[in-house]
Chains A and B, each alone.
Chain A
């Protein structure tokens, strides 16, 4: 705990010294142990042995999600499997998942990073830490779990689902800090209220560390009021580690990056040029001491900015602002990352439907509700309600298999999906509480 506290209050010079050392080690490690980096550094004329300043990293090429996919499953590993203790994967089909591998050291600092959020919330060994992120390949559940252990809390590994049981355990065990997606936290609050409880009083909850999807300030205010908590935003991604790359403190004015493990840059997504602090752009991250899956200049596609100035909480690690959207068309649905192209791939396997489709996102019981509207082809024999319903069910089943989330399929009339200049608007987002409402 003492060492952790000290790390959070290092001077700028001390942090930058750690970062420079970490970058030097990481680029050489990548160059020598990962064929992908050897090639991409050589192609870009980037000499990993010549890095002398933080600025020198700007000469290194970017890494994209596609690069990681292309090297599935083990192509990006910088350590032999014998040193790898755990594997996580981003959502997606087997073929396009991205893999994160962790050595003992990697798991250790992952826990430390997430534990910072618990500490920001005032959490100690006396806290009962209730994890209702899904456990499994998704980094949410185990990442939070390791964070709880690292912070010394009593961890309750609830995983997601079974809302009534969640509420019972939360009340009976006296859970004080909760970790889940913001929409699930709202769902818990709403169900509790529906059951005649007043969660702000009946539960001992006082903080939530919420992430895996964006939520607006209004949504946060409502959640805090209903649950009687301070809701802290946590950022992370499987490609880098998982939740804990950056977490809000009680000031709620941006998320402190774990700057002793991650080096963050903001770039102009169109030109790739670095932007000064304060300007909005795409977040690019380099790991500083990740052993199994080191990453150099990963383009997150998340839009944020580095907040200038220091934080009133005293933590010296710089902050990123809360996310402001994406540079691509990725959707975050119930914490799962979905690209419209994945939906398109599924549609193409059904000759009965046309290529016009539309994804409509709404909020139902505080959770994302996804409806896919599709048009049937003229030659489909629809004079049979059974045939239409069978088709609906088949598409729904395949989407669930491929995308891991439930999508309601609705067959609609031809041309009822609006075309603008011949191109359909693929996604209609009517959800409440995303970004700013």
Chain B
């Protein structure tokens, strides 16, 4: 289980740039960034080396930012890697609210998931570990 930073951004020019400047000043290094957008606003989700520092820096500059626990699972970087993981989630009756993938090292990819409901994230991570997957911890990203 790792911490993800979510930032609410209006769909206007320069907002995303401003966000990255804030993180640069806070000396935060990002591993992943995704944007979900509607016509009026976007949600930017960030995985980084120091989520607490990122959150503090963003809030200090009036960004609407929040911290969310997500599961980050390492899967082998080969065809079917993600399918195996999803099968396991389905068999555990776990529903994914959103998710995205990034590769960190050559041999493995990292899949990030928000499992529906807060309490489920820790439980999901634990059960996936039980099923043999490697779940990343915050220290792995620092």
Contact = CB atoms under 8 A, between A and B. Distances in A.
Interface of A: 375-376, 378, 381-385, 388-389, 410-416
A393 to B, nearest CB: 12
Nearest to B43: A385
B64 A382 contact: yes
Interface in B70-109: 97
A413 B66 contact: no
A382 B66 contact: yes
Contact of B66 (A383, A385, A389, A410): A383
Contacts of A412: 10, 41
B40 A382 contact: no
Contacts of B43: 382-383, 385
B64 A376 contact: yes
A413 B8 contact: yes
A383 B114 contact: yes
B38 A378 contact: no
A381 B114 CA distance: 13
Nearest to B42: A385
B137 to A, nearest CB: 20
B6 A382 contact: yes
A389 B15 CA distance: 21
B10 A383 contact: no
Given A376-B8, A383-B114, A416-B10, A411 B41 contact: yes
A415 B15 CA distance: 13
Contact of B97 (A375, A382, A384): A384
Nearest to B67: A383
B9 interface: yes
Nearest to B8: A382
Interface of B: 4, 6, 8-10, 15, 36, 38, 40-41, 43, 45, 59, 62-64, 66, 68, 97, 114
Contacts of B62: 413-415
Contacts of B10: 412-413, 416
Contacts of B6: 382-383
Contact of B64 (A384, A385, A389, A414): A414
Given A413-B9, A414-B62, 5 more contacts: A378-B59, A384-B97, A385-B38, A411-B40, A413-B64
Kindly name the residue among A375, A385, A389 whose own CB sees the greatest number of chain B CB atoms within 10 A. Answer: A385
B28 to A, nearest CB: 18
A414 B64 CA distance: 6
A416 to B, nearest CB: 6
A383 B40 contact: no
Contacts of A410: 40-41
B40 A378 contact: no
14 contacts: A375-B64, A376-B64, A382-B43, A383-B43, A383-B68, A388-B8, A389-B38, A410-B41, A411-B8, A411-B40, A413-B10, A413-B15, A414-B64, A416-B10
B81 to A, nearest CB: 26
B8 A385 contact: no
Kindly name the residue among B36, B40, B97 whose own CB sees the greatest number of chain A CB atoms within 10 A. Answer: B40
Nearest to A409: B40
Contacts of A381: 66
Contacts of A388: 8, 41
Contacts of A382: 6, 8, 43, 64, 66
A385 B6 CA distance: 11
A389 B8 CA distance: 13
Contacts of B38: 385, 389
Given A412-B10, A413-B8, A413-B10, A378 B36 contact: no
Contacts of A389: 38
A375 B38 CA distance: 16
Q: Please list the 9 inter-chain residue pairs (A to B) with the smallest Cβ-Cβ separation, ordered nearest first.
A: A383-B6, A383-B68, A415-B62, A413-B10, A414-B64, A410-B40, A382-B8, A414-B62, A412-B10
